[in-house]
Structure formats: structure tokens, C-alpha cells
Structure 1
Amino acid sequence: MFRTALRNVLAHKARLLMTVLAVLLGVAFVAGTLVFTSTISDAYQKSSEKGFTNVDVAISPDDSDDKDNPGDAPKLSQSLLDQVTKLPGAESATGTVTGFAAIPDKDGKLVGDGFTSSGGNYFPSKDGKDARYTMKEGRGPTNVREVALDSRTADRADYEIGDSIDVSVDGPVLKQKVVGIFTTDDGNVAAGGSLALFDTRTAQKLYAEPGKFTGIELKAKPGTTQEALKAQVQKILPDRTEADTGEKLADDQAEEIKNGMSGMRTGMLAFAGIALFVGIFIIANTFTMLVAQRTKELALMRAVGASRRQVTRAVLIEATLVGAIAAVTGLLAGIGIGAGLRSLLNSSGATVPDGPLVITPTAVGASLFVGIVVTVLAAWLPGRRAAKIPPVAAMGSVHAPPSTRGMVVRNSIGALFAGVGIALVLAATTVDNGKLMMGLGAGLLMIGVFVLTPLLSRPLIAAAAPVLRIFGMPGKLARQNAVRNPRRTAATASALMIGLTLITGLTVIAGGIQNAIDKMARDSLKADYIVSMASMTPLAPEVGEKLEKQPEVEKSSPLRLSPSRIDGEKTDLAGVNGKAIGDLTKLEFTEGSFAGLGGNRVVVDKDLAEDRGWKVGSSLPTTFEDGKKSRLVVSGVYEGNVIISGVMIDNATLTPHVKDIADFQVLLKTKDGLSDDTKKSLEKALGDNPAIKVQTMDDVSNDIAKLINLMLNMLYGLLAMAVIVAVLGVVNTLAMSVFERSQEIGMLRAIGLDRKGIKRMVRLESLVISLFGGVLGIGLGVFFGWAAGELIGPSLGTYELVLPWGRMGLFLVLAALVGVLAALWPARRAAKLNMLAAIKAE
């Protein structure tokens, strides 16, 4: 039986190739998704890692809640550094200062895209070197005009020793000279970011205070444990300061990265699960058709003496051989797909951290599981079913198609799953936290529709009959072929349906979110321009002061945040220009107005007021950032949103209590409104600094769109594989269908249907099946998009369903294109069949 199975596999090379291709596609889809997700996840994780190899104990300010002083903990002093350096267990101590530093290339574009750009201090020891950084060229910076760059940034921006560059920390441009190029194991740099080093005094001035550090790192002497050194440090620590071992910091960092990546990992695993489902589904579908086609062949084996068990075993041996070959090939193809998706994402302009291609044991194991185990399981049931058919009945082709009772049971189960799924999804839209319920409902609905697809195929394909009649007899035959075997039609269309359901649903949700945020911003602001740092870090107050003095500016208000304690609870105060803010925003007030904002009078958003029991006239005992106390009075209550909310206070009152004055935005209203000349003039006044963004509402909307499109592009990249698999799945099904209907095609040729008509019949059948899957997928996607929007709506007040008609039309065209492309080879093969040989075919 083994030799028979082996010869049988090799004797039908075309069938072998199609079967291997089907399994290979399923494996490649799973492997490619897992490789891609692991690579992206690992790259983002590495970008957050910081090396603690040379850190045994780290000291940092303790910013945990302080009832007496709501401000940030003080920076670490030089005297503390001197003290810990003298500890008996300390071999060395390094004072660290870190912050943001934007490095533009020679074309004025930011290296590291802003948010991954960082700055720090070069802290030389007695030998003149900083152990954290190895100088590749030049030396470390020694004065206010010098800077050292990491080697990756220098290479990308084409900077060399002696070049003059512009550096921006919080707005104003600093003219610096490159004196050193160094290497580092900083994860942020390895992931595509940039790092600039200043001398310690300059870094302290930029990021902390003169003589102060943001952290201190200690290395223990040989023989001193980290815990022992920490115990020595804790004896001399001042208030609001903490010390941790390097081991604990590494563990905390790993946990923090894990938590931060959990959302991405969950999403990526969801797509890996979808990949697994589609892969299993295609393989099972292929083997069901394959064994059905070989019923006579298997019956002949029974007739010459093979037992049922031997027939089933022969099918399983064949499946194992096919699965093993396809698993290995599919794994290699999947690795290539994963690498290709990464390159495609980078070429689309998306900012993705650099990193190596990651091939995990999970990817290898899942590929072998799908390729071998799933293939064998997929072949077992149809093989066992075929072995049960009496040999005489099978050879005479009298074995019955699926019974009516079987279809009724299938449709009843499908209707039950779909009904429960719809009920759960609808119920989830009415509860506060219905994510889990909606996920369960969506899964059940997808399974229900999948089971019901054969039933749905008849009415939906019948709806295409008027169009198909235009093509004459080939069109009529195509419709009849598509509905003749509804299970095969449904199985072929389902892979495409799954891909388009996810693509459409994600597009609907993303469009609604983008529209909601855009509408919220436009409904909240009257400002012509919003000025902020590209990195979303604070702006220097000089930026707002400079802009206010420009002749084009009519009204302006810097927005600055300061921690405080109101009624004993920590609350951020939002400082604004009380005289101008009413002309720069359009917030609705339920009580009072901006007219009363000034002195100790504040305005608060409605939700916060209701939560704290405040109303106009309420007196609020307040402790400012510097520890000074006062009483603020509520003069207005406004409708807040995710863009503007909280307690607003006049900057004239707030600023004297702020230790480090910084603005997160500056709102501007200009005399001539929006114009390119005005925008260019404002940018020129700020030194054409790429680290500072001068944006209109359209610019803000475009930024939001870019962020959403980045996420969509990543998801589209994954789902594109589902569509590719669907295309090849349709090709596979049609090719097997043509093989199965060789006699029928020969008869059609014999009674007068020409080759062109045969080609048209197969193409139209493929087109109808693909459009059937496309319509189902888009319909389900819109439903899921609407349901998810109902969950999002309460937290995003301006959210409303936005149907992307253009993209949905494009998806339908894509489904049609899938059908056309998938039919090219099978149609050509059908047309080339010799009619006499086809009529005699078994």
C-alpha cells in the first residue's frame, strides 16, 4: 500500500502540484504572518530597551505622589553624586542627563522622525572616556558649541567630524559642531532613532538645572553585590529619591515593554489566528475535493482486495508526503513573505523600527503543524468517507450526493451560530464594556455565515442571472456550474470573504475615528494655526513670546500644564491667555463663560465639575506646583472633549508657581487668516526649524490620517496575504473543477460550444464566485465596523458611522479582479481539452 500510494502520488503530477500548492499557500500564509508579526514586535521592543550591563545600582528622582508638594521631585545634585562615588562598594558613579534632541539631515528633514530623537550627556571618567559610548571617530564634546552623534545618525545624515549642524531641544535652534561619532547599544538608536551627546554642563542647562542630574548610575566593586551596594546608597538618599538595582530595572523594563506591547501582540496574534484558520480551511477544502474526485480510483483498490483501513491509510500516507514537502517549502516562502511585507511597509513611508528578521520556534512549529498534521487530518475524513462507499456503487458513479437531511442539519447549525452571534454583537453595543462579548459574537457570526455560505450562494448568485444572460449560453452555464455544487462554491468564496470582512471592517472603523477627531478639533478651535514640537515634547516659552510679536499675529495663547492639588486630589492646571482664549476656541458653556477667566478665577469642564461637585462660584482650595496654597473660584463650566478638557487658569496667575516653564502648544489667530505666505512667514520667524510644526487644522487632520493609515497599512499588509491565498485558492478549485468536468466540457465542445465559449464560461464562473465572496465580506465588514463604532461612540462624542464608498467599491473591483486572474489558467486549460479524449475520460 505504501508503494501504491507513492506511485499514485508520482503518477498524477499535475494533481500533485495543485495539492502541494494549496498546502504550501496555507503554510506560507501562517509562516509569513508569524514572521512578520514577530519581526515588527521585536523591533518595537528593542526600540524601548536600555542596556543595564554596566549599571549595578541606579538612583532617580521619586515622582510618586507627594501630598505636600504636587510638583515633580527635584533633580539629583552634584553633592549626592560626590557622596555615592565615595561609597566603599562603588567602583564608579556616572551622572546622567537625558532629554529630546532633534537632528535634521542636510535637507532639513528630521533623522529618527522626531519622536525617537534623544539627547544626553557625555560624562568622561578620569581617563577622559565615557564607558557608555565608544568613540568611533573624534572625541567627546567639551563645551556648549560641541556635539557628538551616534554612528547610524551620522551615516544617514552624511555628517562628518567638523560639520556644523542645527540641533533643537525645545524649539530654538542650537548651532553645534560635530566633534565625535560614537557607537552605542541604545535600543532606540538600534531601532532607527538618533542620539546626540552634549558636554555635561550644556546637557544640564538644556534638560535639568545647572549642577543637577536626571539620574545617577553606579558600578559595584568586584565582590560587592548589587543588593549590598543598594543598601549603602539608601543610607544617604535624600527625600523623594529612590534607588534600584540594575537587575530590578532590567526586570521592570521587560515587564513595562511587555505591557506596552500587549496591545500590538494581541492584534498580531489575532491575525496569526486568522492566518491559521484560512490555511487550515484551504487545505481541508482541497483534500475534500481531491478525494471526491478519486472515488472511482479508491473503489477500484477496494475491488482488487484492499480493505477500508488500507484505503484510508493510503490516503493518509499520500497526505503525509504532500504535507511534508509543502510544509518545508511553505515555511521558506513564508519567511520570504514576512521579509517582503516588512520592506513594503518601509517603502510606503511608514516609520517602523529597524531590526533583524525574526524566525521564532513558534513560526517553525506552526508551519510544520499546518503543513503535516492539518493535511493528514484534512485528508482523514474524506478518505474514510470514500473507503466506506461500496466498490460497485463507486465505480458505477451511483453514490449519492450529500443528503437533504445533511444540508438541513448544516443550515440549522449555521443559522443558530449566526443568530447567537448577531444577538451577542447587538447586545455588546448596549453595555459599557462589551469588547469581549462583541469579539465572541463576531467569531460566532463568522462561523455561522461560513456554515451557511452554501445556502446563501444560490440566491446571491441567482441575482447575477440577468447580467450573465448578456453573455449567452456561456453565462447561463457559468451560473449553473456555480450553484451546482454549493459546498464547493462556498468553500472557494469563503477565503476571500474572510479577508474582505476584516479589510472592510478595519477601514470603516478607521474612517469613523479619523472623522470624529477631525470634527472634534474643528468644532473646538477657532485658531488658524497650532504650533507644537514634532516630537510632542514641550516648547520653550520663547517660541510663544516670539510668535506673539509677529505682525501677522492677532491673538495668541500658549497652553502650559502644571501639576497641582485641588480639594486634596492631584489635578493638572492648564494655563492659557485668559484675554485671548475665547477668540481661539469655540467651546460651549453650560454655565458662565471665558469672560470671567483671570486672577484666581478658573473654568472647568463639565465632566470634572460633575465628578467633583463643582459649579459656578465654587471655591477650590489649591496647592500649586511650588507648594504655595491659594483658593481658586469657578467662573465657568464648559463642554470638554478629548482635545480640550480640565481646569483652565490664566497664565499670569499660574506662571509664577511653575518651576520649568514650557508650553505643549501655542494657538494663533492671524490678521489675514489662513494663507501660504502667512505660514511661511511664521516658520521663517522660528528659523525654519523642522523640529517645530506650524499647522493648520487641515495639517492636523492629515497627521491623524497618516497615523491611522500607518496602522491600516500594517494590517492591510497582513490581510493582503489572505487575498493572495484566496486568489490561488480560486485557481486551485477551478483547475480541479475543470479536471472533474472533463467529460462535460468535451460534450459541450462536441455539441457546438467553441473554445472561446468554454473560456468565457470558466471565467464567468470564477467571476461570480469571487464577487459572491466579495459581497459577503464587505457586508459583514460594514456590520462589524458599525458595531465597533457603537462601542467607541461613548468615549468619542463626535464619532459617527462613515462608509468609505470609494474604498468599498475598490474592494469589490478587487474581488472581481481576483475572479478574472484566477480563471486565466483554468479557462485556458479547459479550452485546450481534446473533445474526444475528454468524452472518454474517467
Structure 2
Amino acid sequence: MFRTALRNVLAHKARLLMTVLAVMLGVAFVSGTLVFTNTFSEAQKSSSQKGFSHVDVAVQPHRADRDEGRPGETPLLTQRLLDKAAEVPGAAYATGSVDGQAFLAGKDGELVGQGFSRAGSNYFPGPDGKDARYPLTSGRAPQRAGEIAVDARTADRAGFKVGDTVRMSVSGPVLPQKITGIFTTDSGSVTAGGSLTLFDTATAQKLFTKPGRFTEIDVKAAPGTSQTKLKSGIDKILPRDAEATTGRQLADDEARMIEENSSASKTILLVFAGISLFVGIFIIANTFTMLVAQRTKELALMRAVGASRRQVTRSVLIEAFVVGAVAALTGLLAGIGIGAGMRSAIGADMPDGPLVITPGTIVTSLVVGIVVTMLAAWLPGRRAAKIPPVAAMNSVHAVATTKSLVVRNTIGAVIAAAGAGLSLVATDESGLGLGAALLVIGVFVLTPLLAKPLIKAAGPLLRLFGMSGKLAGQNAVRNPRRTAATASALMIGLTLITGLTVIAGSMQKAIDKMATDAIKADYVVVMANTYPLSPDVAKKLAQQSDVTAVSPLRESPSRIGGEYESLAGVDGKSIDKLVKLDFTAGSFAGLSGDKAVVDADTAKNRGWKLGSSFTVTYADGKKGKLTVGGIYRGNEMLKGIMLDNATLTPHMSEVNDKQVMVKTASGASDSAKKSIQKALGDNPAIQVQDKDDISNEIAKAINMLLNVLYGLLAMAVIVAVLGVVNTLAMSVFERQQEIGMLRAIGLDRSGIKRMVRLESLVISLFGGVLGIGLGVFFGWAAGRQIAEKIATYELVLPWDRMGVFLLLAAVVGVLAALWPARRAARMNMLSAIKAD
């Protein structure tokens, strides 16, 4: 039986090629993901360890004191503590770090660096006059205000060189700076595309902390002193609000954080790889079903001469094992190439390091490929083994019994109903996910039942193509199970794509409506990356002649009733001109002095009503009493406890604004926007946004995420294309005699090609219609949950994109039919008629 199985594999190489490709693509996705994430993670860890090579013990504020949302000033480390740390027995020297955010403008006026990693820090010379953390490659270190050093990657990207004067901003005002030096760094944020700007220590403290204060103190051990011993000595001099950690522990913590971050990305990529493999299961099962059907008489003869059912099933599984092993091995090699390609594509934004191929990656890839193939082939093999030899030789098994169809349709209907019901009543993502999975499975089981009526509905259009169209329609429903399995592969990909598109479009509409309903201001001024704005920005804007109302929005932590709560500060006199809130009690008139307005959810959770009083502990530790002067319906843009800045600001140790809302006399216009930008020094780090800008920025982020998801789901669509090609190729092989007869009675080659192409088109569109229909349902079901959290959410059907998806399904059908149609048309009619 083993030799027979191997012979069958070698005898059907061409037929199994598409199956190998389908499995290979899925395995390549898995192995490529593992190779890339492992490589990136190890490179980041290596870079991180280099970054801690000059740190034996780090002194930092207590972790509890650094938690967000806690009232009270985050403690800073003093110069006195730095001096004492440097004098601890076993310490070689101590370095004081002052960290913050610094935004550099390139020569084109745009910000340099990517994402949230535009960092600023200080150059702290050691005993030798150099800062070991930042080796200079040219120039000298900054020594006074107005001088900076920039990292080599940023200098290379922006075209900076020593002696250049650049525009820089920390929290608002533009500060011209002269580049005195360029340095290298192992900082992971810089290698990931960010920027790092260094100042002299006094300037950095003025910009980021306070004179004589540091955010971290790093101590280097003298030769012969261990990190543990040095830490013990430093622990003795620490104040209550500081803690010491060894460099080794910091490196381990950083490595653990990197592992957690890469694990999330790895999980997302593997989910999409799993989708591709799941789609591949349909192709594998379809292929082996057809191969077994073609060898029915052969298998029956083997049964007649003594082969048992188990041996027949085993022979099919051996074939699947061989196919899966070949596919898994080629997929592993392709995945290694994909991982290397992804690393090269990131290039300079990724730390240096070797390509990491772990034993786990190899084993996982091989096991996934082989197990998926054998599982998909098990049912066709078992079905073949159950056919009685005499029945198989007479081919009476070919027609499914009425009983089997009734059972299948009943099971499918029950599963689909359960999935649809669960999707409707689910209250969280897990319930919705389970309902979606059940519904997809139920629809797949029901697909043979749905195939005939839906494909027959296309009959009038097919008849426009004459006999070729009529035959294509009949061929598409001749074997409903095969058509169902082929269409289902495409259906799954389009279900996910359509569902995501519906949710994204509806979310965008909800955000647009929220911005329109909640904001009366013409402009909202924010700092890049949502970092705090200097209070000088609001003051400058208030002095502009065209500006009629200004309100900075400030946030400060507090404690109310033993729980931490964020307070929002606004200008009580002008806020009603800038925002539009739906008050259920009171109004903005109750926003002054010791009065505050709160959103309805907060009021309900705390049992507050109009006129209720509560005690608040501010960020500086002082207590006060506030009275509820208004209750409003909150949204994602405005919610929480709001009070007058005149009340909140005195309790803030450092006054910064989250954003500034502006109303102008002329309304939103290009001239008004340019006037505001000019007043702020044309600062590239400050964004002046109207309602459309806010909406477009969110839309850009949503579309970027959608495009990434489309790219990942494209693999499933490619696998589905292979499934259509495979099905048509098998179908053409099975119908050799029929095609030869059609040619003999007058159907020309172009008619044969047209017949195969139309059959492929019908099957693909059938899968596309099912996928789009299910995607719309899942988008609607998910929207019901979102609407409970976002009041402005409403279902929006993206008809244009759904039309594109249906066109995509049609293109898939046309492309998939090219090779099978050509093969069918080139078939010799006499040889085909004589084929057995």
C-alpha cells in the first residue's frame, strides 16, 4: 500500500501541484512571520543590551510614583543624589539623564523622525570629557543654549551636517538651534526611525525638568565591583521616592517588553496565516476528493483482492503526508526568504543582527504543513474506503443519496442558525467571534444547497453567450459539493474583507458626526504626537485680532473617593462658544469657581446629581470641594469631569495644554488657518486642524490599517485562486470525453474556452456574493456592539468598495480559467473521445 501511495503521488504530479502551492503559501506565511519577528526581536534585544552596557545600576523614581493617573508631582532626582551616588564605594562615575521630547524640522520644513520617538536628552560628559552613551562621529558636544547634537541616522535622513542651523520645538515656540555634533546610538527608538536630539545638561533641564533635576541617574561600577554589590551600596543613600535597579535587570525587563510587543505582532500575523491555511483546507479536501473519485475503480479492485478499509484510508493519508511534507519544506524555505526580504525592506529602521531561524520555526512549519494536509485528506480517504467494491466498480456511488443531502442540509441549517443567533445576542467580541465562526461553517455546509438556485438565477445572462453559456451553467451545478468547496475558499476571504470595510466606513461616519455635533470651534491646535502644548500658545492665539474665543484644554490627575480620576480644565467663560454638549441637567453656566460639569456616566457611577458636592485631592496633594453644576452626555471626544482652568491650574506643578480650541470671527478658511499658523511661527510640530482635518487624520489612520489588513488577507485570496484553477483543471480532465464529443459535433475551440471561463466566472461570483453578504451581516452585528459605546455610530454600506470586491471575484474567475480553458481547447478530440 505504501508503494501504491507513492506511485499515485508521482502519477498525479500536475494535479497535486496546486495543492502543494496552496499549502506552501500558508506555511510560507507562518514561517516568514516567525523568522521575521524572531529576527526583529533578537536584534532589538541585542541593541537594548548594548544600550545598557554603560549602566551597572540605574536610579529612578519609584514605579508606583511614575504610574499615570496618580495625583502628586512625579519625583525628580536631585544633583545632590547624583553626587552621593558617584561617591558610593565601588562606583566609577555617575551620569545624570534628562529626557523629554524634541521636534526637529527638516530642510523641507517637515518634521524629522517617525511616530512617537522624537526624543530629546542631555550630553553628560564623564571623567574623560566624553559621554560613553553617545560617541561623537563629527563635531563636538553641545555646551550652551542654542546648540544641539543629532544622531547619525537622523542627520543622514535629513541631510544635516555640523554647522547647520535647524528649527526645533519642545512644546510650542520655535527655537533655532546650531548643530555642533553628530553621534551614534544604540537606542531602539532611533533604529526604528525616530530621532534623538542632545542638549547640554543645563539646557535640557530648563526644557524638560527643572534646574538641577534629573529623570534618571546611571552609575558605572569600578573594575572588580559587581552590579549587585554596587546596588547594595546605592540602596543605602536613596530617598524614599527613588529606587535602584541593576543594569542586568533593566536589560532583562527591556527584553521582556520587546518580547511582549513582538508577540502581539506575531499573533496578528499568525492569525492571517491561519486564515490562509484554513482556506487551503478546502482546496486540499477538494483535490483529494476528485483524485479519489477518479481512482474509485482502482480502489475498489484493491478492496476486492484483499485490501481493508483501513489500508485504503492509509494509502490516501500517505499520499497526503508526502504532499504535505513537500509543501511544508518548500514553504519553510520560501518563508525564510520572506523573513529576509521583510528585514531588508525595513533596512535602516531595524537594528543590525543575523537572520534568526530557530528549531521551533522549522518544527512548526513542517508540522503545520503536514498536519493540515493530512486532516484535509482524511475525510475523502475515509469516504473512499466505505464504498463497497461492487458498487464502486459500477459507479453507483457517484450520486449522493437524498438522505445524505437532507442530513447535510439539516446540520448546516442548525449550525448557521446557531451562529446567526449568537452573533445577534453576543455582548462581547468573543461571543461575536464564535457566532461568526459557526455561521461561516453553517453556510459552508449549506453551500451545495445554495449553489443551484443562485447559479441558476444567472441562467438568463449565461444564455446570452449561446451554447457555451448554457453548458457553463450546467457544469457549475453538476457537482454542487465541488462547486461549494471551491466557492467557499473565496467566500472566506471576501467575508473578512467586506466585514472590516463595513466597520471601518461606519466608524469613520460616526467620528465625522461626533466632530460635527460636539465641536463649535473653528480650529483645534495640537502638538505633534499628541504631546503637551506650552500655555504660551493659547496666550498668543488670544491676542490675534480675528480670534473671538480661545480655550486651552488641560488634564491633571486627582483622587476622588479613594479612586484616581482625570480632571479636565477649560476656560469657563468661553467654552460654550467652542463645544456643543447635550446637557441633561444644568449647563456651562455652572462651570466656574468650585463648580464643575460631569458626563452622565461618571455621575451615574458615583451617584451624583445636579448640586451634589464631592471632595477632590488635586495633583499637588491639596484638597478641595467641588459642586456638580451640570451633567452632560459624554462622547469619545469630550467626557469626564470638567472645571475652570482658574480653579485647576494653581494645583498643577507644570502647566501644559493637551489642545487649544479656537473660534475666529471669519470662520474656518484658508486665510484664517494661515494666520494662526503664522502667529505660531509656522511651527511644523504644531498642527492647526479644522473639523475636516480631524476627520481626515482619523480616516487616514483607518485606511492605513485597512490596507494592511487587505494585504494580509490577499494571501487567502491567492490561495482561493489556486483552488479555482485546481477545480477547473480537474473538471476538464474528468470531462475529456464530453469535451471531445462537443468538439466533434461542432463546438469550436473558442466556444470550449468560453465555456470553461464562464464556469469559472460563475463559481467565483457565487463565492463573492456569499462572502459580501456574510461580511455585511458581520459588519452590522459588530456595529450593534460598537453603537452601545459610540452613540453616533450607524451602519454605512460602502457600495463602491463592495462593487470593487465583486469585480475582484470576477477577475479571480477569469484569471483562474486561463490555463484550464487553454488546456481544454487544445485537447485532441479523437484522443479525448477514446479516453477512459
TM over 0.5: yes
- Distance apart, 1:166 and its partner CA: 1.5
The structure 1 residue matched to 2:535, chosen from 541, 545, 555, is 541
Code of the aligned partner of 1:412: T
Task: State the match for 1:153 in structure 2.
Answer: 154
Structure 1 distance, partners of 2:380, 2:807, is 35
Structure 1 distance, partners of 2:136, 2:470, is 76
Structure 1 distance, partners of 2:575, 2:716, is 51
Task: Confirm or deny: 8 A CA contact 1:114 1:691 kept in the other structure.
Answer: no
List alignment gaps of at least 5 residues for structure 2.
none
Secondary structure of the corresponding residue to residue 794 of structure 2: coil
Task: State the match for 2:116 in structure 1.
Answer: 115
The structure 1 residue matched to 2:809, chosen from 808, 811, 815, is 815
Q: Does 1:56 align with 2:56?
A: yes
Range with bigger deviation, 797-806 or 244-253: 244-253
The structure 2 residue matched to 1:20, chosen from 8, 17, 22, is 17
Structure 2 distance, partners of 1:487, 1:262, is 39
- Distance apart, 1:558 and its partner CA: 1.0
- Distance apart, 1:734 and its partner CA: 0.4
Using a 3 Å threshold, how does the CA distance of structure 1 residues 217 and 836 change in structure 2: closer, same or farther?
same
What does 1:761-776 align with in structure 2 at a 5 Å threshold?
761-776=755-770
The structure 2 residue matched to 1:365, chosen from 363, 366, 369, is 363
Structure 1 distance, partners of 2:282, 2:528, is 46
Code of the aligned partner of 1:404: T
Task: State the match for 1:286 in structure 2.
Answer: 287
Q: Does 1:603 align with 2:604?
A: no
What does 1:142-541 align with in structure 2 at a 5 Å threshold?
142-257=143-258, 264-298=265-299, 315-336=316-337, 361-379=359-377, 381-383=379-381, 385-386=383-384, 394=392, 397-428=395-426, 431=427, 434-541=428-535
Secondary structure of the corresponding residue to residue 662 of structure 2: strand
Using a 3 Å threshold, how does the CA distance of structure 1 residues 719 and 670 change in structure 2: closer, same or farther?
same
Task: Confirm or deny: 8 A CA contact 2:29 2:273 kept in the other structure.
Answer: no
- Distance apart, 1:107 and its partner CA: 1.4
- Distance apart, 1:595 and its partner CA: 2.3
Using a 3 Å threshold, how does the CA distance of structure 1 residues 568 and 415 change in structure 2: closer, same or farther?
closer
Task: Confirm or deny: 8 A CA contact 2:65 2:74 kept in the other structure.
Answer: no
Structure 1 distance, partners of 2:376, 2:618, is 69
Structure 2 distance, partners of 1:260, 1:4, is 49
Using a 3 Å threshold, how does the CA distance of structure 1 residues 621 and 472 change in structure 2: closer, same or farther?
same
Structure 1 distance, partners of 2:189, 2:666, is 43
Structure 2 distance, partners of 1:466, 1:115, is 58
Using a 3 Å threshold, how does the CA distance of structure 1 residues 380 and 590 change in structure 2: closer, same or farther?
closer
Task: Confirm or deny: 8 A CA contact 1:492 1:729 kept in the other structure.
Answer: yes
Structure 1 distance, partners of 2:796, 2:359, is 42
Using a 3 Å threshold, how does the CA distance of structure 1 residues 200 and 259 change in structure 2: closer, same or farther?
same
Deviations 1:663-703 (A, max 9, x none): 11010111111111221222122222221111111111111
- Distance apart, 1:302 and its partner CA: 6.8
- Distance apart, 1:197 and its partner CA: 1.2
- Distance apart, 1:643 and its partner CA: 1.1
- Distance apart, 1:193 and its partner CA: 1.2
Range with bigger deviation, 773-782 or 458-467: 458-467
Structure 2 distance, partners of 1:489, 1:409, is 19
Task: State the match for 2:28 in structure 1.
Answer: 31
Secondary structure of the corresponding residue to residue 785 of structure 1: helix
Structure 1 distance, partners of 2:487, 2:343, is 28
Structure 1 distance, partners of 2:467, 2:425, is 48
Deviations 1:435-466 (A, max 9, x none): 22222222222222222211221222122122
Using a 3 Å threshold, how does the CA distance of structure 1 residues 541 and 86 change in structure 2: closer, same or farther?
same
Using a 3 Å threshold, how does the CA distance of structure 1 residues 572 and 248 change in structure 2: closer, same or farther?
same
Range with bigger deviation, 537-546 or 35-44: 35-44
Task: Confirm or deny: 8 A CA contact 1:533 1:539 kept in the other structure.
Answer: yes
Structure 1 distance, partners of 2:734, 2:70, is 81
**TM-score with structure 2 setting the length:** 0.92
Structure 1 distance, partners of 2:34, 2:501, is 20
Structure 2 distance, partners of 1:625, 1:631, is 14
- Distance apart, 1:240 and its partner CA: 2.4
Using a 3 Å threshold, how does the CA distance of structure 1 residues 294 and 574 change in structure 2: closer, same or farther?
same
Task: Confirm or deny: 8 A CA contact 2:541 2:547 kept in the other structure.
Answer: yes
Range with bigger deviation, 504-513 or 74-83: 504-513
Using a 3 Å threshold, how does the CA distance of structure 1 residues 528 and 150 change in structure 2: closer, same or farther?
same
Code of the aligned partner of 2:749: R
What does 1:64-83 align with in structure 2 at a 5 Å threshold?
64=64, 70-83=71-84
Using a 3 Å threshold, how does the CA distance of structure 1 residues 289 and 216 change in structure 2: closer, same or farther?
same
Structure 2 distance, partners of 1:466, 1:614, is 67
Structure 2 distance, partners of 1:153, 1:483, is 62
Task: State the match for 2:818 in structure 1.
Answer: 824
What does 1:711-722 align with in structure 2 at a 5 Å threshold?
711-722=705-716
Deviations 1:173-231 (A, max 9, x none): 22122222222221111211111111111111111111100111223344544444333
- Distance apart, 1:600 and its partner CA: 2.6
Task: Confirm or deny: 8 A CA contact 1:62 1:73 kept in the other structure.
Answer: no
**TM-score with structure 1 setting the length:** 0.92
Code of the aligned partner of 1:61: P
Deviations 1:279-298 (A, max 9, x none): 33322322221222233455
- Distance apart, 1:308 and its partner CA: 6.9
Task: Confirm or deny: 8 A CA contact 1:148 1:196 kept in the other structure.
Answer: yes
- Distance apart, 1:88 and its partner CA: 1.2
Secondary structure of the corresponding residue to residue 111 of structure 1: coil
Task: Confirm or deny: 8 A CA contact 1:25 1:330 kept in the other structure.
Answer: no
Task: Confirm or deny: 8 A CA contact 2:44 2:258 kept in the other structure.
Answer: no
Using a 3 Å threshold, how does the CA distance of structure 1 residues 374 and 248 change in structure 2: closer, same or farther?
same
- Distance apart, 1:588 and its partner CA: 1.6
- Distance apart, 1:568 and its partner CA: 4.8
Q: Does 1:694 align with 2:678?
A: no
Structure 1 distance, partners of 2:42, 2:759, is 47
Code of the aligned partner of 2:161: E
Structure 2 distance, partners of 1:313, 1:652, is 81
Q: Percent identity?
A: 65
Task: Confirm or deny: 8 A CA contact 1:22 1:283 kept in the other structure.
Answer: yes
- Distance apart, 1:495 and its partner CA: 0.9
Using a 3 Å threshold, how does the CA distance of structure 1 residues 586 and 426 change in structure 2: closer, same or farther?
same
Task: State the match for 2:717 in structure 1.
Answer: 723
Secondary structure of the corresponding residue to residue 177 of structure 1: strand
- Distance apart, 1:770 and its partner CA: 0.5
Secondary structure of the corresponding residue to residue 130 of structure 1: coil
Structure 2 distance, partners of 1:707, 1:355, is 29
Secondary structure of the corresponding residue to residue 64 of structure 2: coil
Task: Confirm or deny: 8 A CA contact 2:490 2:771 kept in the other structure.
Answer: yes
Secondary structure of the corresponding residue to residue 484 of structure 1: coil
Structure 2 distance, partners of 1:359, 1:793, is 45
Structure 1 distance, partners of 2:372, 2:581, is 59
Using a 3 Å threshold, how does the CA distance of structure 1 residues 53 and 416 change in structure 2: closer, same or farther?
farther
Task: Confirm or deny: 8 A CA contact 1:454 1:489 kept in the other structure.
Answer: yes
Structure 2 distance, partners of 1:398, 1:188, is 68
Deviations 1:699-734 (A, max 9, x none): 111111111122212211110111111112101110
